[in-house]
Structure formats: structure tokens, C-alpha cells
Structure 1
């Protein structure tokens, strides 16, 4: 069973309770169906490494929660909701970080990110209380949506956490986003897409390397054209022009360098499908 509070209505009440507990202002909760979704098929840019003026062809821009949205574009606010962000371990108390033998459990691919402990309702409430002001900040800055990263952190927990645990937290975070008028984006976690949409209420998906790992269908089967895909230069399965022509490729697709560098950096790569 998913550790949820009975219904979407009860979850909405829990989300607003978290807002009050965290000192955030309580917005008028809109109908989640009224949130604005990403424009289908619009070229995206993924600017987590730093904000810069988007290419004129770009209609969707994702940036870190510490950056302002891109003016005139559909803007997605990145929030690391299930692990600590690099350089931000100090924002989290030890009790909400997953511990093993007295040490933080670390993401093996990101050694400066520790897993947040979603294993109990109390832990999830503490995490949501910390994330709630970030979501509110995204809305206040003028973002249209928020994406929650590391939904699959349970797979790195050595059995300490489960998909159901992360789904329960995701449901609360999605309700918080909707309460602030933001669409909520699933980030990766292809294997759980159906449940993340149906049970947690995600509206669209932001996915990395779905063509490289042959996972795009898992997302498009659920979200249709509301899938924003990023491929990286160091792991292309074939030339990017061929990927653009692939009928299985998401309509919103961008090629970026792995470190998401700024223009002017020798490693910077940005390319969209010019259909």
C-alpha cells in the first residue's frame, strides 16, 4: 500500500498544513487541471548549470530554483526533492538524512548528494516542510512549473526506503505545487511513470537520456507530447540528427553537454531538433 492519507482531498489538506507549518503563505488552491502545462513539442533548453539567454527557437526553459525564470518562455523550476543539493547538506538536519552506520547514505553517482529519508510519515512531513518554501519561491519568481528530482532515490537506499515511500512524499510535493498554481513534472524514474502520474498526480515529465536507454516509450505512453527530453553528448546512441528523425523520440528534445555549461565555455553544447 502507498502511505497516503486516504484521498487526494486529504493529501491536499496535508499539503496546506505543511505550508502553514513552514511559515509559507497559503494560496488559493486552484483546480490542478487549471495549471498551465508545457507547450507540446516546443524546443527546450536545460540550464541547470547556469542561466543564459535562450536561443530564439526555444519555448521551454528549465533552471535551478535559485535562478529567475526565462522571460517569455514556459519556465520549469528545478528542485532536488529527495536528495540534498550539492553544497546544501547544511540545510538539512541529521534526522532527515538517511543514515547507515553513523554516516550519510550518498548517491554513488553524485558524491556530494545525500539521500533524504522518506521511510516514515514523520520523516516525509519534515522533508516537505523544508521543500515547501522552495516551491513557493518558484511560484513567486514567476515559474510555470516545478520538477522534482531523484524520485528514484529509494533504489539507492539499500532497502531502507521503497517506491511507496517516495510516492507518498511525491504526492504531497505535487499537491504543494498545484496549490501554488504550478504544474508538477516527474523527473526520470521511467519504471514508475504510470504510478507517479496516477497516484502522485504528476502532470508531465522531464527525462534524461531516454533515447540512450530506450525508455522514451514509458513516458510518452503516459504523458504523450508533454515529455521534455534531454540527451547528452557523451552518451549518444547515434547522431543527434538521426535521433530527431526517430518517430519514438519525444517531440521536445534538446542535446546538451553533460555539465550543462554556459555559452562561451569550450564544453558548451546546445542543439534542438529543427523540424
Structure 2
């Protein structure tokens, strides 16, 4: 037999590498490969419960629960899964919270003005060198507890007085970073508020979470998610259901009336 030329050998090796290497939709979870292409993708009209305070009420008969990442152990997520629920991991990715166990890991130079909630300050999202590993650890926690998705909060700092000269480009870059980190871990990810950047970001996120779009006449701006067959999980706090539910049904939003403390109480459209 003739020995293959060096060029042929190199081409064969390259082809073998291309066919065996994991693709971009594959994540490494400690020895097992799980394609992120199989991640959960909620569709328009999916009912949900959002509870971030008080004793968790697991009796609400809905297919989706959105609960705090730090406050609930893996066992809670497992129990919700046994009941047939998908579970969203609530995290603040754009603001620092002094009551979180990892609060001391955030250097003072990335902490800005308060965001209106006690103990919280905006983050300098330009400093991805600092924030990326911190957010990766938080998303590792969500994955390791078995969550199906993540709701990253405070994703529109550039529209607020943060103490930093943040731009729309800074926000797009950071939001896409969070989406990528979630997807690398097999987690779905929702775009929280940030209505102005929906056209640029709808392709990067699997669903949306919105507060008070009806009160401010903005719900139609979430239509790109619905048109992409992606759920919009929506809450109002100050309007009665008869003032927004008809529009929510027309727009196919998954709408609730909640109290600001986001305890178990809810009224669904």
C-alpha cells in the first residue's frame, strides 16, 4: 500500500476532530454531556407563579414556578419537578445585594448607586472581568440545584442613574454575556424588562419577564417574543385585573396581579 501524503493525513485528522468535538450547544456537566439545544423553552400563554418572599406555597396548580435562587435548596426544586413543574431561578445580575452570601466577593469599585431597594446597589456592568466569574458561580448554583431556567434581574441599568456612564452597547454586551453563561449550563434564560432592547435581544433569550407593562402602556412592545413563540411572564401591582387581563389575553401574555413583596398571593388572568 502507498503511504498517504502528509497533507492527506492532516486533512483526515482535521475531519476526525470536527466530527467528534462537542458543538456550541453542548455543555460539560462533570463528565456527562447535555446539549443546551434541549433546554426548556416556554411558549406563550404558559401559566406561572412568582414567589420571592414568605414560606413557599407549592399548592398553586401551575406548570411554572419562579423562586429565589439562594433561598431554596435542591430538594425544593426536586419536589417541584416531581409535581410536574418547571422551575425558574431568580437572580439579580445587574445589582449587588448586601444580604446575599457572596456579597463580600464583589469589590467596592463595581458598586454604584442604590437602585431603590434596601441593601441593593447597581453594578458596573462594564467590568465583565470582575462580574463574569461571579455570575458564572451563581449560575453554577442554579444548575447544580436543578433549576430549568434563570430570571436575571436588573438588566436595564443603562436606563437608570447607576453612578456609572453605562451605554446601550454596554447593556447589550452584558445581557448577552448572561444569556451565554446560562445557555452554557443548559439553562433557559429570560430577558427581564429592558423593553428598548427587545429587538436586539429576542434571539438571545428564551422568554421574557416583565413588570407593569400594562400600567405604562408598553405591553405591545413584548410582541417580538410572542411572535418567536416565546413566553412573556408578566405582572402588575397597581392595576386591577379587569384593567389589563383582556389586553393580556389578546397579546398572549402570561399575566398575574401580585403584591410588591411577591409573596404567594396571586390573581391570574
Q: In which range does the TM-score fall when normalised by the shorter chain?
A: 0.7 to 0.9
Contact 1:48 1:63 survives alignment (8 Å): yes
2:99 matched to 1:95? no
Instruction: Say what the alpha-carbon RMSD is for the aligned residues.
Output: 2.6
2:110 matches 1:106: no
Give the Cα separation in 2 of the matches to 1:39 and 1:169: 25
Match of 2:4 in 1: none
Q: TM-score, structure 2 length as denominator?
A: 0.76
Indicate the structure (1 or 2) with the bigger Cα radius of gyration. 2
State whether structure 2 residue 266 is matched by structure 1 residue 270: yes
Answer with 123-132 or 150-159: which moved more: 150-159
- Residues in 1 aligned to 2:35 and 2:110: alpha-carbon distance in whole angstroms: 30
Question: What is the CA–CA distance in structure 1 between the aligned matches of 2:180 and 2:31, rounded to whole Å?
Answer: 12
| Aligned: 1:185 with 2:185 | no
Distance 1:169 1:175 in 2: 10
Contact kept? 1:187, 1:206, Cα under 8 Å: yes
CA deviation map 1:63-113 (0-9, x unaligned): 111124333212111110010125234341113223xxxxxx221x22421
Q: TM-score, normalised by structure 1?
A: 0.75
Q: Which of 250, 254, 263 matches 2:256?
A: 254
Cα pair 2:172 2:197 within 8 Å, conserved = no
Find the counterpart in structure 2 of residue 7 from structure 1.
Answer: none
**How far apart, in 1, do the equivalents of 2:183 and 2:207 lie?**
13
Q: For residues 208-253 of structure 1, what are the alpha-carbon distances to aligned partners after superposition, in whole Å with 9 as ceiling and x for unaligned?
A: 1111111111112334451111111xx10xx314522224444311
- CA separation of 1:185 and 1:220: change in aligned 2, threshold 3 A: same
Q: Name the counterpart of 2:40.
A: 36
The equivalent of 2:168 in structure 1 is 163
Q: Aligned partners of 1:133 and 1:29: how far apart in 2?
A: 19
